[in-house]
Amino acid sequence: MSQTPHTLRSSSKKGDALTQAERALALLDKTPLLRARDLVDAGIARETLRRLVQSGELEQPDRGLYRRVGGEMAAEASIAEVSRRTPHAVVALLSALRFHGLTTQVPHEVWVYIGRKARVPARTPVKLRVFRVDGDGLTLGIDDHVIDGVPVKITNTARTIVDCFKRRDEIGLDVAIEALRDARRQRKVDLNEVWRIAERRRALTYMRPYLEALG
């Protein structure tokens, strides 16, 4: 029996929807977090996204954002989304250490510095671990990066290592020592800069033995 024109059109629409769904899932396998407009620009209809959410294949960690259910955001994607919502935040400590490739730990939060009176967003797609700082805490050893088109402020390698020693009770002294040694071995840091920042950050007293051992 031949199909009616109406049946042909219905089958075609269903096939298009399946193709869009597969494409959406494939895109989110490559990039764990995407904005709705990015998916729409890639030819995915909003209705397709809605159906994927209803079927339990996608979830929305925040308005206008999509990811696979049970999937984790890539470290850089999570940093970009936090900076998009909190442009005054500085990515620091364990998150900065991960960004610089100096730890194998994968933090489940994004660690940031924020001014003492700055506003923290009520909702973000990932959890934040906030440290309130002021003065050169927000300016010393800070580099500007662009991740997924988003300007991001991140403590540089030297500042990150110094701060990990300074907050060794939260980071772990073994993590800080390993980061210092790895950065030196991989030639990712100038020990003179570490020394200078350690003096400014009042961390030189307990860092001196480790710096002199590498010196």
This prediction has a pTM of 0.71
Q: Which residues contact 143 (CB under 8 A, 6 or more apart)?
A: 153, 154, 155, 156
Give me the residues of the chain with pLDDT under 70, please. Answer: 1-18, 70-74
The reported pLDDT for the residue numbered 19 is: 85
The reported pLDDT for the residue numbered 2 is: 44
Helical H segments across the chain, by residue range? 5-30, 36-41, 46-54, 75-85, 93-99, 157-166, 168-171, 173-185, 191-200, 204-214
The reported pLDDT for the residue numbered 73 is: 59
The reported pLDDT for the residue numbered 72 is: 58
